[in-house]
Structure 1
Amino acid sequence: MIKNVVTLFIIILAFAFGNAQKEDDPVAWSHTVNKLSDTEYELIFTGIILKDWHVYSQHTSDGGSLPSEFTYVNAGEDYELVGETLESETHTEYSEAFEVDETFFSDIAVFTQKIKLLKPDIDLIDVNLWYQVCKEVCFNKEFDFTISLGGNTVVLEDKVVDDLSKTLSASMELDLKNKERLNEGVEDVANGSSGLWTIFGLGFLGGLIALLTPCVFPMIPLTVSFFTKQSKTKSKGIANAILYGLFIVVIYFLLSLPFHLFDSVDSQILNTIATNIWLNVFFFLIFVFFAFSFFGYYELTLPSSWANKMDNASSKVGGVIGIFFMAVTLAIVSFSCTGPILGGLLGSTALAEGDVATNLSVGMLGFGVALALPFALFALFPAWLNSLPKSGGWMTTVKVVLGFLELALALKFLSNADLVGNWGFLKWEIFMGIWIVISILLTLYLFGLIRFSHDAPKQRPSLPRIFIGIVSAVFSLYLILGLFKVNDLKLLSGFPPPKFYSVFEQKSDCPLGIDCYKDFDEGVAHAKNAGKPILLDFTGWACVNCRKMEENVWSEPDVYKIINEEYVLISLYVDDRKELPENQQFDYKFNSGRVKTINTVGKKWGTFQTLNFNAASQPFYVLLSPQMEVLNSSMQYVDKDTYKHWLEKGLKNYRR
């Protein structure tokens, strides 16, 4: 009781302090400790929030304002977390801006975490809280708690940075004028429901392709016949087959849930796939491994004992649970064909913009629906089974075609690693040359000119195979003409490396040959001399939507002319792993006291973007005058007309 009174008293004091806060610091944080036993403690973090401001729950919906995140320093070594971090009362409302339900705190936010000591002499616990606080605008904030379990006074040792670091840190913060313009009508069409529908469609297509493989296709008539013939009534057989299909959807959806657990630990853990060098190399090797399994050099299978156990369980249990185990058995025995396709789905969602875990769940849902659909449809209309083509060598052809597609996708991950690591061996021409070779080999295979060991005896290619071979030949010609600059390869924008990443000497190492600056200060100095406004481009080597913007929007003649003639382009790559010169490396000290070492180009410009524009996504565009006046709202991934209008409005404001 006394502990609760003390906690309430601290909250009241914090509330009184919070009302005295300024609007640029809308939350006042405090903490208390309750001792539960000799080794167990309860940590309570309290935030008093100014009126009309919101701090967001750890569990707010994806696609809206960002959730609060706690980092417990040395958890697992000095102590362990008991359960999850609990929250006080929250509110949920629909956000018109993000078109999702957001869960947030008003007035007060209280988080509670129980811990159990692993080392008896531990007294100090360090906890970092990252949160977003919003009103008309949003700010990303951090707060570091240093907690004494014994109630001792904590004397914080101020982290000291040297004079060089102070000077370079000061140069990172801009004195922006008209900053409120940044949030006026921000456009971003990359992360809407249309994007999720596209990912669902890709997953659905992957499921349809999986149906045509030798591991799944023969199962359709066998399974449907089992349900319709073994059931006492026709309606019961149809219901069981539909339930079987529903369980298939559920199983593949459940496979994506572990990625949400990873995402709850660190919201960026999956997105690092797009920029981490060694993860990209790992994915490249995995996809090559998948491809050669499709070529028939070895078989990918899960342990046969798993399938046997599931099959036995389905026989013994019966009923609804038995049907569920039958669906699990199908997932296990078909893994050699579906595994590589699911790997491709994972790779595609990792490359897509937005929340990777959500993308993967939507993609897996589409995959499961496509895989389950035939079992329900043929149960409803069993006469259709007679129209199904017979199993045969054509299914081997499907697997080999998928193998070539896996090789092409694998190259994208190797290209990401090459770009981010500045290795310089997979330039645009080499990438396209390898794709041309893969496409030509696929064409030759489809016309029967090359074969694999598991192919059926040689015979005249079927009409569907000839048709797909012609499509592959046309695609090969399209790539060849693009390599020799006869066409612009816009259909592939965002997938190959940028065209300025070339083996030949280029006039510019900037998009579309536009003169650009990759250092902010140099670009501003040129803008002052030229009397032109600045197009500030936060981009990344592994950013697919950045390439799409450059190759589909910037390349349009009227947009290109405005950028090239009216603006000074400053392109800052936030994922560039190139080390800064020693005299430019420094420690940046945040207001919270946390110190971040800035030792690479990407860290410098990523921190620069967050500090000045409260943003961390790419592409991200800002229009500035040389005197640091914001000329228009910030801009992200949009269509050509919107982008052109945005550039013209910025010019108009600059001339005014």
Structure 2
Amino acid sequence: MLFCLLSMQAFAKIDTPVHWKFKSASTGKDQYAVTFTATIDKGWHMYSQFLKSGGPVPTSFKFDNLPSASLLGKVTEKPAALKGYDQSFGMTIEYHENEVTFTQIVRSTDEKAHLTGTLTYMVCSGQKCLPPSDINFDIPVSGALIADGNQATRPEKQKVTAPAQAPVQSMADADHSLLGIFIAGFLGGLAAFFLPCIYPMVPLTVSFFTKRSGTRGQGIRAAVIYGLSIITIYVGLGLLITGIFGASALNEAASSASFNLLFFAILLVFAFSFMGAFEITLPSFFVNKIDQKSESGGWIGLFFMAFTLALVSFSCTGPLIGTLLVEAVSKGTYLGPALGMFGFSLALSLPFTAFAIFPSWLKALPKSGGWLNSVKVSLGLLELALAFKYLTNVDLAYHWGLLSRDLFLGIWIIIFGTLAFYLLGKIRLNHDTEVTSLPLPRLVLAMATMVFIVYLIPGLFGAPLKAISGWLPPQSTQQFTLTGNGPAADAPPSTGHKYAGLFHAPDNIDAFYDYEEGLAYAKKVNKPVLLDFTGWSCTNCRKMEASVWSDPQVLKRLKNDYVLISLYVDDRTGLSESEKYTSKVSSKYIKTLGQKWSDLQEAQFNTNAQPFYVVLEPNGKPAAEPRAFDLDIDAYTSFLDKGIMAAKKSVSL
């Protein structure tokens, strides 16, 4: 048996967030309204009946045959369901909070008739989901009855079933990710405003609105329409990206070696473009054609005027937009590209609109000059540093061994050192003007960059650098260390395990990288298992390892009390011909080690998010609710203690 099904009993002792009340009341001659009212604890939500396939389990009712009664219509639910985007399933989810009532109208002439059947529902909080639950009900339809739904079941059939299901990434987590993408887009839009192809156009554009419009009110209205047109154009670009890739591709991008390699190449092109090696431009005939349409009057003319701005400035904004879209796509968030473009365009359009409304503010703007090119080059250096993050994802997945942690840090130190000297005016490129005096903002940025470099340097010798650990290769790839955490230290005991030559657990934890082998060893030594679904390109996995696993109390438990099984879902090591198979879940042909572990996670836990932690007893039974990304050390310690207690209990039995 590859894996045991999660039982509801393992969760029922922990959470019972839904409380049911059943009621039957007459609504007319021989007609009754049977209601199922769920009171939901604060912080939890239950899913509607009306969900698309491929997502969580919807609430459903299965009624038994009614020899003396009949159903009128279908089950209704009130109030109307709320809606929210769930990143894990890549779809909009309909759900209920606080309280919801489901009603089924029944016709019966028999006063002793009973309505029997099974109610299935699933409930989630902002941190976890409980397995779908079944309640078998038996309700007299005639005469009023108010009963506790959790007790008004048929005793001979009272049971709760639970398909393999585990916590999925909550809508709160999805909202957090989307907010981060929006903020990144907004900051990118602010940076784009100070690029050479945007900034000088502000006075010209504002002058156009003020001179062409008959009144100040007309000028303001034109500026607002112009700003909204900018937003429409860029959001449309984000939606186009989403439509091209589709939800499944967006979710797979974060762990796809091909995507990460493509992103590395794209960011290199963008970085060198920003630094003046060449310009990325659109065909002139296309730009001219759009510009001609901008001469039309009314709203159409203003829209194409905004379109012309987007096209003409593409040589500057293209790399910035491309970087933002790469980041949004790699997050695997369906709405990410559109929301990132909304933040970008909002920040870009606000100055044009604001200066058109208050033209006197233009006097306070710094004059255009060589400093604009400095902004462009600085952004190019930042994009160059970001590019290596995607290269290391591919390097780790294919085990090329190109970028160790210290080499990666060395590259970053050189890039940010170059940025610091550039900001101080010690380095000049072809399009730069000589820096005769150093403005205060430029000095502050140079000082901040040097502080960051000083922070990076100890990492060359094995310092954990927890603040940016999610961006770095795993500490196990460190070639030189003074802390004893990398390969330069004594080899960990796991070197004899299957696949140990390809992987290294942090802090020299004795880890297994094959599920069957690790589980067999756990049974042999009678220790609980920490099943760690992780990935080379999983930023949050590295954060958990650097910030939570490194804690003395957590590390002590992982080294002494647990058998750690780390399964890398994006690893590209090929399987032998005898190991390859077709997935029963996705119908895909599984031919790599990462695909095998990803298929295991989807098949047994119905989720593909990482990091994902499962505590198992030595016999493979779940000992606690699985956990996802959470930097709460005390909560993680308690999570591990549950597995230790379960293992001790199994020994006493």
TM-score normalised by structure 1 residue count: 0.71
8 Å CA contact 2:168–2:607 kept in 1: the answer is no
Alignment of 1:260-409 (within 5 A): 260-264=242-246, 267-315=247-295, 317-352=296-331, 355-409=332-386
Show the counterpart of 1:416.
393
Q: For residue 630 of structure 2, what is the amino acid of its counterpart?
A: V
8 Å CA contact 1:436–1:476 kept in 2: the answer is yes
Show the counterpart of 1:642.
635
In the alignment, the residues of structure 2 paired with residue 255 and residue 498 of structure 1 have an alpha-carbon distance, to the nearest angstrom, of 35
In the alignment, the residues of structure 2 paired with residue 406 and residue 518 of structure 1 have an alpha-carbon distance, to the nearest angstrom, of 34
Question: Cα RMSD over matched residues?
Answer: 3.3
Question: Does 2:225 align with 1:243?
Answer: yes
In the alignment, the residues of structure 2 paired with residue 544 and residue 249 of structure 1 have an alpha-carbon distance, to the nearest angstrom, of 30
Which gives a bigger RCO, structure 1 or 2 (Cα 8 Å, sep 6+)? 1
SS in 2 for 1:622: strand
After superposing the two structures, state which structure 1 stretch, 360-369 or 223-232, moved more.
223-232
Show the counterpart of 1:215.
197
In the alignment, the residues of structure 1 paired with residue 599 and residue 618 of structure 2 have an alpha-carbon distance, to the nearest angstrom, of 21
Change (3 A) 1:322 1:589: closer
2:523 to 522, 528, 532: 528
Q: For residue 418 of structure 1, what is the amino acid of its counterpart?
A: D
Question: Does 2:96 align with 1:102?
Answer: no
1:524-543 deviation line (CA, Å, top 9, x unaligned): 23222332211100111111
In the alignment, the residues of structure 2 paired with residue 589 and residue 260 of structure 1 have an alpha-carbon distance, to the nearest angstrom, of 26
Show the counterpart of 2:410.
433
Q: For residue 300 of structure 2, what is the amino acid of its counterpart?
A: I
Show the counterpart of 1:620.
612
In the alignment, the residues of structure 2 paired with residue 573 and residue 483 of structure 1 have an alpha-carbon distance, to the nearest angstrom, of 26
SS in 2 for 1:623: strand
After superposing the two structures, state which structure 1 stretch, 626-635 or 183-192, moved more.
183-192
> In the TM superposition, what is the alpha-carbon distance from 1:259 to its structure 2 partner?
2.6
Change (3 A) 1:186 1:561: farther
8 Å CA contact 2:530–2:562 kept in 1: the answer is yes
8 Å CA contact 1:259–1:357 kept in 2: the answer is no
Question: Does 2:188 align with 1:193?
Answer: no
SS in 1 for 2:249: coil
TM-score normalised by structure 2 residue count: 0.72
Q: For residue 525 of structure 2, what is the amino acid of its counterpart?
A: A
8 Å CA contact 2:528–2:647 kept in 1: the answer is yes
Structure 1, unaligned runs of 5 or more: 1-51, 68-88, 107-132, 140-177
Change (3 A) 1:346 1:138: farther
In the alignment, the residues of structure 1 paired with residue 346 and residue 84 of structure 2 have an alpha-carbon distance, to the nearest angstrom, of 30
8 Å CA contact 1:512–1:550 kept in 2: the answer is no
Show the counterpart of 1:145.
none
Q: For residue 102 of structure 1, what is the amino acid of its counterpart?
A: I
SS in 1 for 2:615: strand
SS in 2 for 1:196: helix
SS in 2 for 1:397: helix
Show the counterpart of 1:578.
573
8 Å CA contact 2:257–2:570 kept in 1: the answer is no
> In the TM superposition, what is the alpha-carbon distance from 1:437 to its structure 2 partner?
0.9
After superposing the two structures, state which structure 1 stretch, 460-469 or 439-448, moved more.
460-469
In the alignment, the residues of structure 2 paired with residue 206 and residue 247 of structure 1 have an alpha-carbon distance, to the nearest angstrom, of 18
8 Å CA contact 2:189–2:347 kept in 1: the answer is yes
> In the TM superposition, what is the alpha-carbon distance from 1:198 to its structure 2 partner?
1.6
Q: For residue 222 of structure 2, what is the amino acid of its counterpart?
A: N
SS in 1 for 2:470: coil
1:419-453 deviation line (CA, Å, top 9, x unaligned): 11111111111111111111111112112222101
1:610 to 599, 602, 605: 602
Change (3 A) 1:588 1:241: closer
In the alignment, the residues of structure 2 paired with residue 366 and residue 214 of structure 1 have an alpha-carbon distance, to the nearest angstrom, of 20
Identity of aligned residues (%): 44
Number of aligned residue pairs: 509
2:581 to 580, 583, 587: 587
Change (3 A) 1:250 1:186: closer
1:480-524 deviation line (CA, Å, top 9, x unaligned): 122123x42122121111111233445341023221110112212
Show the counterpart of 1:518.
513
Structure 2, unaligned runs of 5 or more: 1-46, 59-74, 96-101, 103-119, 124-129, 133-159, 480-486, 493-503
Change (3 A) 1:631 1:138: closer
1:599-656 deviation line (CA, Å, top 9, x unaligned): 3211221222222222222111111011122111121112324323322333334434
